[in-house]
């Protein structure tokens, strides 16, 4: 039975979280502070430590240097910058409060499973992996697995299929494989199959002989021949017409090509890397992609994770892009504001790294000071649903059970209970917090403590039927 240590000074959160984990077959101990955890428990005897960021005395990040075990940091929605900073100090991940029961259980199970099969890298190992991947950025678990697979497959001549959403950097993966292969001194030819007209794709790939068709005034080699001795990268191969797929299949099987209009075939030595954002297996079953070609190219499949699933990598990528854009555009050093960091780490980025890069470039051009705000990134924080935190898309069918909120700056106003409810939902907590504190706090202060905008606070009041008290303090806001 996996052992977990909870370090949280709020009774209602700590005890409810303990019950949640124990109901799901985890052995749980608890402490109210870092000092208590260090004095009472052997931290290395646990599979996972879950700690609040803000604790009396030392912050939860102090645990990171005290143990070799993974530390999951809990933080309020309004304090995501601190969460990102904690991961830079070595936290395995963070989870924002209020958090969903299912999200907490999924995160705990993932971290324990990952660390059971993949021990923490030795000092310097992670940097070495990244150094060999042609400028690719990131150290999250999916990216570490990707680096490992690249290192393994690159020295071979195995055909590789890179699958990932648009804008995730599939060409970077292809270039990383080529740069680590024995063909690195030879060319890598990159072809976007979706960008070439269907009527020209065969002549572009295979070349043609003089007089093969109207306008063919001279012999011309194709892109496959141009990559002889090196690597051919076919991006968006799912857009390739069926006729061209048949010719490509022969090239893969026989290592030879025949130019259009020629009666002779030429041998070529080309390593093939393909990429797509489509489900080629489903396309093959529906007759939109040759099934025999699918099995030929699907020898080694590499999955490239979307940006929203890369956790702490998002801010690292954004800061790297910011530095590059400032240098390219001749700007002095710029930095992201706390609101911009919150926006970057909570937005789902449907366009992935390409969308992030465009947003950063636009912000650098428009920025007049030395700090970039979320408005320059064109991200409205009020439209970022709380269920999108850590890159997860909203799922309206998930349980509404949630725990936690940001109360650390108002310690006299803590919500305490000797028998906390096991299923304290977000709306229950919201209603309870507002009713108990609206006489002593302004609407602005309430919104800040709950980690929402004033507009969101007003809308939730309306939905839950919580009237606004007309006290002298609240009426002034």
Q: What are the two backbone dihedrals, phi and then psi, of residue 372, each rounded to the nearest 5 degrees?
A: -100, 125
Lowest mean pLDDT among 49-58, 270-279, 358-367: 49-58
% of the chain residues with pLDDT over 90: 38
Residue 38's pLDDT is 92
Domain with CATH 1.10.8.60 in the chain: 308-391
Q: How far apart are CA 370 and CA 211, in angstroms?
A: 61
Q: How far apart are CA 2 and CA 310, in angstroms?
A: 25
β pairing state of 231-235 and 271-276: parallel
Residue 120's pLDDT is 45
Residue 321's pLDDT is 93
The mean per-residue pLDDT over the stretch 459-463 comes to 74
Residue 83's pLDDT is 58
Q: How far apart are CA 148 and CA 168, in angstroms?
A: 18
Residue 82 scores a pLDDT above 80: no
Residue 181's pLDDT is 93
Residue 175's pLDDT is 93
Nearest CA-CA partner of 282 in 163, 202, 168, 173: 163
Q: Contact at 8 Å (CB) between 143 and 149?
A: no
Q: How far apart are CA 275 and CA 297, in angstroms?
A: 10
CATH of the domain spanning 3-117, picked from 3.30.479.30, 3.40.50.2000, 3.40.50.920, 3.40.50.2300: 3.40.50.2300
The mean per-residue pLDDT over the stretch 385-391 comes to 41
User: How wide is the angle at C-alpha 269 spanned by C-alphas 267 and 273, nearest 5°?
Assistant: 125
Domain with CATH 3.40.50.2300 in the chain: 3-117
Query: Is the pLDDT higher at 472 or at 317?
Result: 317
Residue 108 scores a pLDDT above 60: yes
Query: Is the pLDDT higher at 452 or at 423?
Result: 452
Q: Per the structure block, which two tokens stand in for 181? A: 């292969």
Residue 191's pLDDT is 92
**Any alpha helices (H) in 163-312, and if so which ranges?**
170-179, 201-206, 223-226, 242-254, 280-285, 291-297
pLDDT band (50, 70, 90) for residue 86: low
Please give the CATH architecture assigned to the domain spanning 308-391. Answer: Orthogonal Bundle (1.10)
- The hierarchical CATH code for the domain 402-475 is 1.10.10
Lowest mean pLDDT among 43-52, 63-72, 122-131, 423-432: 122-131
Mean pLDDT of the chain: 80
Query: Is the pLDDT higher at 137 or at 414?
Result: 137
Residue 189's pLDDT is 94
pTM above 0.85, yes or no: no
Please give the CATH architecture assigned to the domain spanning 141-303. Answer: 3-Layer(aba) Sandwich (3.40)
């Amino acid at each position: 039975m996996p052992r977990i240590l909870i370090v949280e000074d709020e009774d209602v959160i700590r005890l409810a979280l303990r019950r949640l984990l124990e109901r799901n077959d985890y052995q749980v101990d608890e402490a109210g502070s870092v000092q208590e955890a260090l004095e009472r428990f052997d931290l290395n005897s646990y599979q996972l430590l879950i700690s609040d960021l803000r604790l009396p005395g030392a912050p939860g990040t102090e645990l990171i240097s005290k143990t070799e075990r993974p530390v999951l940091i809990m933080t309020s929605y309004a304090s995501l910058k601190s969460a990102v900073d904690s991961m830079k100090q070595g936290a395995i991940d963070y989870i924002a409060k209020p958090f969903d029961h299912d999200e907490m259980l999924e995160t705990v199970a993932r971290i324990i499973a990952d660390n059971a099969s993949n021990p923490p890298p030795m000092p310097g190992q992670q940097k070495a992996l990244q150094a060999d991947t042609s400028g690719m950025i990131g150290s999250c678990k999916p990216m570490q697995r990707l680096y490992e697979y690249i290192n393994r497959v690159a020295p071979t001549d195995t055909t590789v299929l890179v699958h990932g959403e648009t804008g995730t950097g599939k060409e970077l993966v292809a270039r990383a494989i080529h740069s680590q292969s024995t063909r690195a001194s030879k060319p890598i030819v990159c072809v976007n199959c979706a960008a070439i007209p269907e009527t020209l794709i065969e002549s572009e790939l295979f070349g043609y002989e003089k007089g093969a068709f109207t306008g063919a005034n001279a012999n011309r080699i194709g892109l496959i021949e141009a990559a002889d001795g090196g690597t051919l990268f076919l991006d968006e191969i799912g857009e390739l017409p069926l006729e061209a797929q048949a010719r490509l299949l022969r090239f893969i099987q026989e290592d030879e090509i025949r130019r259009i209009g020629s009666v002779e075939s030429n041998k070529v030595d080309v390593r093939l890397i393909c990429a797509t954002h489509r489900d080629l297996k489903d396309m093959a079953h529906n007759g939109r992609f040759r099934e025999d070609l699918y099995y030929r190219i699907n020898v080694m499949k590499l999955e490239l994770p979307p940006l929203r699933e890369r956790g702490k990598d998002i801010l690292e990528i954004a800061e790297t892009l910011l530095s590059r854009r400032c240098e390219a555009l001749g700007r002095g050093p710029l930095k992201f504001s706390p609101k911009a960091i919150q926006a970057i780490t909570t937005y789902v980025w449907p366009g992935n790294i390409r969308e992030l890069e465009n947003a950063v470039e636009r912000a650098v051009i428009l920025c007049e000071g030395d700090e970039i705000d979320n408005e320059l990134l064109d991200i409205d924080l009020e439209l970022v649903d709380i269920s999108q935190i850590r890159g997860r898309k909203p799922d309206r069918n998930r349980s509404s059970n949630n725990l936690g909120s940001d109360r650390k700056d108002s310690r006299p106003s803590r919500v305490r209970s000797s028998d906390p409810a096991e299923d304290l939902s977000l709306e229950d907590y919201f209603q309870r917090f507002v009713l108990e504190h609206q006489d002593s706090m302004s609407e602005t202060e309430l919104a800040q403590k709950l980690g929402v905008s004033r507009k969101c606070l007003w809308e939730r009041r309306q939905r839950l039927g919580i009237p606004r008290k007309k006290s002298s303090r609240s009426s002034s806001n």
